[in-house]
Amino acid sequence: MAAEFKNKIEFDTPGGPVAIEGPVEREYIASLTIDENLSNFRNPTRQKEALMIVADLPEGLVYIARQGQTIIGYLNFHYPSRYSRWSRHPRVLELGAIEVSRQWQRKGIATALLQEAFKNEVMEDYVVIINEFHQHWDLKGTKLNFWNYRKMLTKMYVRIGFKRKHTDDPEILEHAANMLLVRIGKNLNEAYVKAIDELAYQQSLVE
Ligand SMILES: CC(C)(COP(=O)(O)OP(=O)(O)OC[C@H]1O[C@@H](n2cnc3c(N)ncnc32)[C@H](O)[C@@H]1OP(=O)(O)O)[C@@H](O)C(=O)NCCC(=O)NCCS
């Protein structure tokens, strides 16, 4: 998918200029270093490898925030796991992760990454889902509680066109702060919208 769209913007932050780029390819990610504080999900070396793997997927889309030769934030999309109920939808992408290095947070970088990614026309051909699980949140670093963290994320995603969606997915129901967000691409017809509604509630179909 990467070849369909290429973009780069220079973004001024109080910490200096930051480039927002994507979709980026594996080789480009490999040529950069990764900020040592991008460790919310896994250690930075493994995180860089994970981004390279996603960039290599046929559907994978990786956007980065770069300062000099260093990745200081990223956002990626891929198909949902084939074991997940969402994989049964014919036009679905999952926003896998978004992270900004701690010293660069609260400068609008995550918002810029999202805005840049959703300028990509390809997004209008997909339902994009986000599974937000509280255990991935940096409560300690941000000093926010579950509810304020969820509020912060919801505000950030809603601006880009996401809406919270109720579901009986046990992984979401496992904790009251978890949430599912969905963004329906403009080019999708009613059948695709109906399909995501049906997938949201599956337990009633289980005997
Ligand atoms: C969530 C995260 C990506 C936000 O990155 P960021 O670059 O700081 O976000 P932005 O600067 O674009 O801010 C987005 C909004 O959230 C608000 N916000 C961000 N951090 C906040 C904080 N610690 N406290 C209160 N509000 C906060 C901003 O004020 C902004 O709202 P505004 O535009 O109305 O002012 C970042 O905190 C992070 O990497 N967290 C760890 C990983 C994570 O939780 N990812 C999401 C789950 S996959």
Give residue-wise pLDDT tens across range 113-143: 999 999 999 999 999 999 999 999 999 999 9
162 alpha carbon – ligand 1 mean position (Å) = 16
- State the first-to-last Cα distance of the chain, in angstroms, to the nearest integer: 39
Number of domains in the chain: 1
Which residue in this structure is represented by tokens 């896998």? Answer: 96
User: Atom 33 (ligand 1): residue with closest C-alpha?
Assistant: 108
If one compares 1 and 189, the residue with the highest pLDDT of the two is: 189
Structural domain of residue 81, as residue ranges? Answer: 2-205
Give residue-wise pLDDT tens across range 129-178: 999 999 999 999 999 999 999 999 999 999 999 999 999 999 999 999 99
Give residue-wise pLDDT tens across range 48-75: 999 999 999 999 999 999 999 999 999 9
Pocket flag, ligand 1, residue 105 (CB < 6 Å): yes
CATH number at residue 105: 3.40.630.30
Which residue in this structure is represented by tokens 């941000």? Answer: 142
CA distances (Å), 118 to each of 27, 32, 34, 113, 173, in order?
23, 24, 24, 9, 28
In degrees rounded to 5, what are phi and psi of residue 90? Answer: -75, -15
Pocket flag, ligand 1, residue 100 (CB < 6 Å): yes
Q: Note if the pTM is more than 0.85.
A: yes
Provide the phi-psi class of 101: left if phi over 0, else alpha when psi is between -120 and 50, else beta: beta
